[in-house]
Amino acid sequence: MAFTTHPETQVGHVHLRVADLDRAVAFYSDVLGFSLTQRYGDTAAFLSAGGYHHHIGLNTWNSKGGTPPPPGHTGLFHVAFLYPDRPALARVLKSALDAGVTIEGAADHGVSEAVYFSDPDGNGIEIYRDRPRLEWPRDEDGFLAMVTKPLDVPALLAEAN
């Protein structure tokens, strides 16, 4: 039998290489609403939601002034930020749009609603909210039956109170 990770395991944080630390901190704090918790001079910064030590690490250790990897190379596809409900997702989406972020995709996956875009360094971002687990679509064998359907973005934005 294969090893199975403990069911309460969570992904704790993401650490991203960026070209310009101040620009990246501004994006993740001013646009996405994360709070700066610590800064290591002009080389690294840590941000979080809700007072956690950090959900996002940003550094320029090997990337200061760098460019995003070209298409066709390996690396991070995207990092996903889970919001607690539809209004919270709508608010962060509105903030991103107000800041001039270009939406690259939006989908209703049955289990969740998600919007996709990139940060200023080309790192993929997914903002999403999960539906309650009891509403997740399943097939006749009980496996998840996720889908990719269009997301009604204007209806979502209407909930940005």
- pLDDT value of position 69: 87
Nearest residue to 22 (alpha-carbon basis) of 3, 39, 2, 4: 39
Dihedral (CA of 52, 14, 160, 26) sign: positive
Which residue in 21, 18, 14 sits closest to 52, CA to CA? Answer: 14
CA-CA distances (angstroms) from residue 146 to 28, 83, 109? 29, 19, 5
Q: Model confidence over 95-119: pLDDT tens digits?
A: 999 999 999 999 999 999 999 999 9
Per-residue pLDDT, 106:
98
Q: What is the pLDDT of residue 46?
A: 97
Q: Which residues of the chain have pLDDT under 50?
A: none
Q: What is the predicted pLDDT for the residue at 123?
A: 94
- Domains along the chain with CATH numbers: 10-64 (3.10.180.10), 77-161 (3.10.180.10)
